[in-house]
Amino acid sequence: MHLEWTGIVALSAAVAAAVILVVYLLRRPPLGLHVKLWLLLGLGVLPFITAASSTASGMHRTTERSFCGSCHVMGGHYRDASDPASQSLAARHSRNPFFGKESCYVCHADYGMFGYALTKLGGLRHVYKYYLGGYDHMTLEQAEREIHLVKPYDNRNCRQCHTTTAEDWRRVPDHVSLEAELGRNEVSCASAGCHGYAHPFTKSAPRDAAPAPAKTPVTSVGGHR
Amino acid sequence: MTLLRRLAHRSVRELVRLSCLLALTGLAIMAYSVLSGKPLPVILAMSLGHLVGGASFACFLLAVCIDGIRRDPARQGKSSEPGMPKSL
C-alpha cells in the first residue's frame, strides 16, 4: 500500500480528532470554554482537514490505472496495459513514463479547461453502470464484447502530445491528407487503418485486419510524432 | 414536532455526544477510504463521510448555541418572568 502525502495528512488528522473525541466520551468533562475549544478542534478543524485531504487523496487515487482495473470488467484492459510484452497502443503508452501509473486517465481524460471536472462526472456514470446498471454481473468476455466508450474517442486527447504542427507529423502524407477529418473526429488516430486500436482484444475484427503497430515501442512522447 | 425542536429539547450533553459519535463514524469512513483506495469506499467517503461529518459539526454548533442561550442571563431573566413557561 502506497500512501500519498495527502493520505498521510488525512490519517494523522483523523487519528488526532478520534483521540480528542474518545477522551471526551470517556471522561465526560463539564462543557466549559476550554472543553468547547478542544471539541472545536476535534469536531471541526481536524475533521475538516481529514475531509479535504482524503478527498484530494481519493481524487488522485481515481487517476491510477490500478483503480480502473479494480473493477473486473476492466481486467482485460488493465492486464494488457500493464503487460510489458504487449504491443497494443495502450500498453506502449503505459510504458511511457509520462503516462506511467496513470495511463488510463491521461488518455481518457477530457481535454480542456473543465476536463478534470467533466471526467470525474463521467466517472460517476461508470459507478452507476457498474453497481446499478448490471456491469458487475457481466463476465469479462461479455464485458469486453459489450462495453464501449459512450462517445467516439476524441483525437484532441492524442494531440495533447502528438502535435499536428510538428514537422515530423506533417511529413507523413496520410496525416496531411486527413488533417481536416482528424480535426472533426471523423477519422480516429486509434483506428484499424491508422495506428491500430488502443485495446485490440476488445474488437471483433480479426487482428490481421489492423495494421501492425510500430515495431519500436514508444519510449518517449517526442519520439513518436 | 420538527427535527430542530426535537433536538432543542435534548440536552446539550446528549447533542455533543451524538456529534462525537457521528464524527467518529465519518472519520472512520474517510480513513478507510484512504487505506483501501477501492472505488466504493472512496465514493462513500466523498459522499456519506462528508454528510455524516457535516451533520456532526452541525450538532456541535447547535449544542453550543443552545448552551449559549441557556447561559445568557438576559434570556434567563425573560424566561423567568411570571406567566411565562419555564421551557421558553
Evaluate if residue A62 carries a pLDDT over 90. no
Per-window interface: A 126-185 vs B, CB < 8 A? 127, 130-131
Per-window interface: B 17-76 vs A, CB < 8 A? 17, 19-21, 23-24, 26-28, 30-31, 33-35, 37-40, 42-43, 45-46, 49-50, 53, 56-57, 60, 63-64, 67
Q: A21, B34: Cβ pair inside 8 Å?
A: no
Instruction: Identify which has the larger pLDDT, A109 or B21.
Output: B21
Rounded to whole angstroms, how far apart are CA atoms A150 and A147?
9
Residues of A in contact with B34 (CB under 8 A): 3, 7, 10-11, 54, 57-58
Q: What b/e string do you get for B53-63 counting C-beta neighbours within 10 Å, with b at 16 or more?
A: bebbbebbebb
Question: Is the overall model pTM greater than 0.80, yes or no?
Answer: no
Distance of residue B19 Cα from the nearest chain A Cα, in angstroms: 8
Q: Determine the pLDDT at residue A207.
A: 44
Does any CB of chain B come closer than 8 Å to the CB of residue A43?
A: yes
Rounded to whole angstroms, how far apart are CA atoms A45 and A124?
29
Please tell me which of the candidates B20, B42, B50 has its beta carbon nearest to residue A62. B42
| ipTM > 0.85 (yes/no) | no
Give the other-Cβ count within 10 Å of A150's Cβ.
9
Evaluate if residue A137 carries a pLDDT over 60. yes
Give the other-Cβ count within 10 Å of B79's Cβ.
15
Which residues, 6 or more positions from A68, have their beta carbon under 8 angstroms from its beta carbon? A74, A77, A78, A104, A105
- Sorting pLDDT into bands at 50, 70 and 90, what band is A51? very high
Distance of residue B7 Cα from the nearest chain A Cα, in angstroms: 18
Distance of residue A51 Cα from the nearest chain B Cα, in angstroms: 7
Per-residue pLDDT of chain B (88 residues; tens, 9 = 90+): 566 656 555 688 899 999 999 999 999 999 999 998 888 899 899 999 999 999 999 999 999 988 888 776 665 555 444 444 444 3
Q: Determine the pLDDT at residue A220.
A: 34
Q: Determine the pLDDT at residue A215.
A: 38
Does any CB of chain B come closer than 8 Å to the CB of residue A7?
A: yes
The whole-chain average pLDDT of chain A stands at 83
Which whole number is the average pLDDT over A147-163?
85
Residue of chain B with shortest Cα separation from A30: B13
Residue-wise pLDDT tens digits, A159-190 = 888 888 888 888 999 999 998 998 888 899 98
* Amino acid at residue number A90: A
Residues of A in contact with B13 (CB under 8 A): 28, 31
